[in-house]
Structure 1
């Protein structure tokens, strides 16, 4: 019974679509027939001449690869000092888990003549630090606190087995 219903619905749709057809297509048929009989000529411009390709052989296989970075001769890595290695046996302080670029100096204050720095960590907590405290992932030790900045000395590896001290600062924003 269902198949009869579907069949009748399909028949109704076909008949309704057939009724939408315009019966007066004679003019269109005549126009198409005249175009088929005399297509005319299209004026096409000639194609431009093809350029001649000249291949270039790569003759530098015995030289340095252009895809490898090379340090300039004047920029050699410093040896550093093996005895300057950071003390890895001391307990790490909370702000040593972050790079200095992730830390923000939000203020300084002086209590009893001793300056302190207020530093915000990426987790939003503000830490109070004094001279001698450590911060940053490169073993940074605070050596001076001024009204607008914190001076640090970091101990960084040279890449050749030694260590060097690097001075840096964390400044108040604007």
Structure 2
């Protein structure tokens, strides 16, 4: 086994001299950080307008139909099953179609009953 080491001068005079020389140098100056301009936030105000990429709309102005004061419910017709429920308690759960036949909707009542309805049926209270 071989053991080797340094010996001799333990005063570290060369290191102390170098450190003293570094400390005696003039101190450096750090430049301040650059000032940034305040960013002005862009406010997009055309979001509610029509998109320029959509096709132009063809708007035809038509006269509104006049209110008819003689519109009354038919008191003589028989009430239908779904007229006993509020319209807010009914929900549409599906549709049925047969080739060459009428289009039907499936409506669920609050009692979980399923009903087939079509155009012309009455739903909800107050004469449907």
Common fold by TM > 0.5: no
Higher-helix-fraction structure: 1
Higher-strand-fraction structure: 1
Point out the structure with max Rg over C-alpha: 2
